[in-house]
């Protein structure tokens, strides 16, 4: 792609896209150009549609993966090439959104208790105890832990947003034990093997995978499963959706509202109008 690739990189950075997103969009755009072996300036809507069909029919890509390719191509034509008319009529794929797996409180205890490394256990306990994304937990700095106010400062979260979340006492106790054992060098609370880096999310995922296996849990569990558990358990304990939205750092309340579909206790506590018929509470039905 040459010059176009350079301009696209600059456009993405000027719009404050994350480094990982920049890499992914460039990879998808290059794959699109390589498919036709022609510069994107001579390609248009017909070629874009043909490529997307190729991804679905020949490559057997999922709608979620195809959506990433389409997002990259839409950015390329809408911003870098200034030809938005080529992509404006191409619809976004409909991505199924199955309900996520949620562990019970007992299962969370078993999974975290089976994590061998205190460092990995501390990261994963932060993911559940404060509802953090795995990247947010890995990137925590020592100064982000405010034990006086019992909050954690999450910096540069998704979409570049900062927020505060609670600092559970059990997590604080574990972090103090971890600190005494590891004495991590500043600034990162969970440094990586190389100086100036943080622990990798993949290392934490592998540690959780081993712990889940050792704990005898049959569910498919990832670090994000712990975040889902945090939100669901908060909802079941009576926390309102708006507060959960703020703690999770969701941009839309609709994203948070999906947990009302997951929480069986929340559903069970909701009275059916059938049970209210003929009662004073049911008088509002007429």
Active site residues: 133, 158, 224, 227, 250, 259
Spatial neighbors of 19 by CB under 8 A, at least 6 apart, are none
């Amino acid at each position: 792609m040459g010059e176009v690739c350079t301009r696209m990189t600059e456009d993405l950075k000027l719009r404050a896209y994350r480094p990982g997103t920049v890499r992914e969009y460039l990879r998808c755009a290059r794959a699109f150009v390589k498919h036709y072996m022609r510069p994107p300036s001579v390609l248009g809507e017909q070629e874009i549609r043909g490529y997307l069909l190729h991804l679905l029919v020949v490559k057997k890509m999922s709608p979620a993966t195809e959506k990433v390719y389409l997002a990259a191509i839409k950015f390329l034509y809408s911003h870098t090439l200034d030809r938005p008319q080529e992509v404006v009529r191409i619809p976004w794929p409909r991505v199924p959104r199955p309900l996520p797996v949620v562990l019970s409180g007992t299962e969370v205890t078993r999974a975290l208790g089976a994590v061998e490394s205190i460092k990995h256990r501390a990261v994963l306990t932060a993911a559940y105890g404060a509802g953090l994304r795995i990247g947010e937990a890995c990137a925590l700095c020592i100064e982000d832990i405010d034990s006086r106010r019992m909050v954690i400062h999450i910096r540069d979260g998704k979409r570049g947003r900062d927020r505060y979340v609670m600092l559970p006492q059990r997590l604080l106790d574990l972090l103090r034990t971890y600190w005494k054992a590891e004495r991590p060098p500043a600034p990162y609370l969970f440094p990586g093997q190389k100086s100036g880096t943080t622990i990798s999310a993949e290392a934490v995922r592998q540690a959780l995978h081993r712990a889940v296996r050792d704990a005898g849990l049959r569910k498919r569990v990832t670090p994000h499963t712990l975040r889902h558990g945090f939100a669901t358990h908060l909802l079941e304990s009576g926390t309102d959706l708006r507060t959960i939205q703020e703690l999770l750092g969701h941009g839309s309340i609709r994203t948070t509202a999906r947990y009302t579909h997951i929480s069986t206790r929340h559903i069970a506590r909701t009275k059916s109008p059938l049970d209210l018929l003929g009662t004073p509470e049911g008088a509002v039905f007429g």
